[in-house]
Amino acid sequence: MVAEQLEARGITDPDVLAAFRTVPRHEFVEGDEPYGDHAMPVGSGQTISQPYIVARMTQLGRPRGGWEGARTLEIGTGSGYQAAILSELGADVTTIERHASLADDARRRLSDAGYDSVEIVVADGTEGWPAGGPYRSILVTAGGPSVPQPLVEQLHPEGGRLVMPVGGREHQLLTLVERNGDELQSTELEPVVFVPLIGRYGLRGD
Ligand code: SAH
């Protein structure tokens, strides 16, 4: 997976490659092909992205000064795999999931795999989690029409980085936002397809 899907497509950050070699993806993703080059169901109608996209978002979200001890927020816990990658990198991770059943399963998987320090919150992640901020890195792993304002406010003013798929329900553009003081620099990258970000500052849903 690491050689054929990540290195071959331009994931170069050695820390990210090492984390992908270490975290047991098969403990997070069920089915016959946990290391397959495609998105996969994680329950409750949700999916985890193919490994390359998880790696790409992780590489883009690397905090200024590196991952070690960096306060990091993930929106959309899903299986817990992305949170495990971040924790393996040394980040201090809070992850928010709106489906309690997914959060429960992810909590068990993260604990079984030894990532006990990850904090999992059941809430609407479009509101962020102000108590844990400001964040050096925020990864939004569901797609919405725009970057939720609360997340911008909770981004660290000295170089905080946020990565999110921004667009419609069918497809989005992976977007990187860097904050310096009150200035935001937004860069649109490649097209991606994520499940919807449902919440007060996202899309409407059930
Ligand atoms: N990062 C996950 C995959 C995420 S799939 C992994 O590593 O497996 C997207 C997840 O976002 C789904 O579980 C969905 O329930 C969740 N989600 C969607 N909108 C949300 C919101 N407003 N707050 C928190 N979680 C949300």
Report whether pLDDT(99) > 90: yes
Confidence (pLDDT) at 91: 98
CA-200 nearest atom, ligand 1: 22
d(CA 77, CA 156): 21
Is the pLDDT at 113 greater than 90? The verdict is: yes
167 DSSP β-pair partners: 172
The per-residue pLDDT of the chain, averaged, comes to 97
- Would you say the pTM of this structure is higher than 0.85? yes
Calculate how far, in angstroms, residue 11's C-alpha sits from the geometric centre of ligand 1: 23
Question: What is the arithmetic mean of pLDDT over 110-121?
Answer: 98
DSSP H or E run through 20: helix 14-22
At 53, is the secondary structure helix, strand, or coil?
helix
| pLDDT above 90 (res 84) | yes
Q: How far is the CA of 129 from the centre of ligand 1 (A)?
A: 15
30 pLDDT higher than 90 = no
In the annotation, is 146 catalytic? no
Decide: helix, strand or coil at residue 130: helix
Out of 28, 46, 93, 166, mutate this one to test ligand 1's pocket (max ligand atoms within 8 Å of CB): namely 46
**Ligand 1 pocket, residue 109 CB under 6 Å:** no
Output 206 or 118, whichever has higher pLDDT.
118
Residue nearest to atom 17 of ligand 1 (CA): 76
pLDDT cut 70: percent of the chain above it = 100
Does the pLDDT at position 164 exceed 80?
yes
Residue 142 Cα, ligand 1 centroid: separation in angstroms? 6
Q: Is 102 touching ligand 1 by the criterion CB < 6 Å?
A: yes
- In contact, 118 and 110? CB cutoff 8 Å: yes
Residue type, 30: E
Query: Residues 128-142: pLDDT tens digits?
Result: 999 999 999 999 999
CB of residue 192 inside a 6 A radius of ligand 1: no
Whether the per-residue pLDDT at 167 is higher than 90: the answer is yes
The average pLDDT across 148-172 equals 97
| Predicted pLDDT of residue 31 | 86
Identify any residues that bridge with 92 across adjacent strands, giving them in sequence order.
71
Q: How far apart are the first and last CA of the chain?
A: 35
| Mean pLDDT to the nearest integer, 60-76 | 98
